[in-house]
Every structure is written in structure tokens, then in C-alpha cells.
């Protein structure tokens, strides 16, 4: 499975968004493209502006710090559809 990562513009980040990508890299090969089986949207704040910009059938949106276990659970759930 291909896991895509898309970052928001970072105008108002409330946490270290790179930490989310670091967790994903431990478990998956990451692509910086929407041409992926699952797309993880790494939003910097609760506005989650990326949700308005992306039209992908399997999306995981992150808008605050999340534990490794929770992030993996959400990605695997999205993969299953």
C-alpha cells in the first residue's frame, strides 16, 4: 500500500507536524503525492484546511498531536476502507 502525505501551508501550526510524518516513516513508505492508496493530511491546526482542498477516497486527517498507536489505527482503518 502506498501512503501519501500532504502538508497544509503551515500558517498557524499548533504542534510539530513533522512528528506525524516521522511515525508514518517508521511503518510505511511515504509518497508526497495524492496518487496513493491512503492520503494522510497533516494539518497544523483545527481548521484542517486541507480537507477542503483534497478529493481522495481514503483520507486520514491529523490536526493535533496523536499517539503512534492511534495514528497507525486510523491509517490501517482507512486502508481497509
| Measured distance CA(72)–CA(76) in Å, rounded | 6
Mean pLDDT of 8-20: 95
3-7: strand order across its sheet: 30-31, 3-7, 38-42, 59-62
| Measured distance CA(22)–CA(71) in Å, rounded | 11
Looking at the predicted structure, is the pLDDT value of residue 14 above 90?
yes
pLDDT of residue 31: 95
- What angle do the packed helices 18-27 and 68-80 form, to 10 degrees? 60
Contact 41, 74 (CB under 8 A): no
* pLDDT class of 81 with cuts at 50, 70, 90: confident
Summarised one tens digit per residue, pLDDT across range 18-65 is 999 999 999 999 999 899 999 999 999 999 999 999 999 999 999 999
Longest dimension (CA), the chain: 32
Amino acid at each position: 500500500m502506498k501512503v501519501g502525505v500532504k502538508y497544509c501551508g503551515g500558517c498557524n501550526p499548533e504542534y510539530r507536524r513533522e512528528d506525524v510524518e516521522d511515525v508514518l516513516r517508521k511503518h510505511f513508505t511515504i509518497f508526497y503525492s495524492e496518487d496513493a492508496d491512503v492520503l494522510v493530511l497533516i494539518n497544523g491546526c483545527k481548521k484542517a484546511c486541507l480537507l477542503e482542498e483534497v478529493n481522495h477516497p481514503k483520507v486520514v486527517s491529523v490536526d493535533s498531536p496523536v499517539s503512534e498507536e492511534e495514528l497507525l489505527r486510523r491509517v490501517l482503518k482507512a486502508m481497509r476502507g
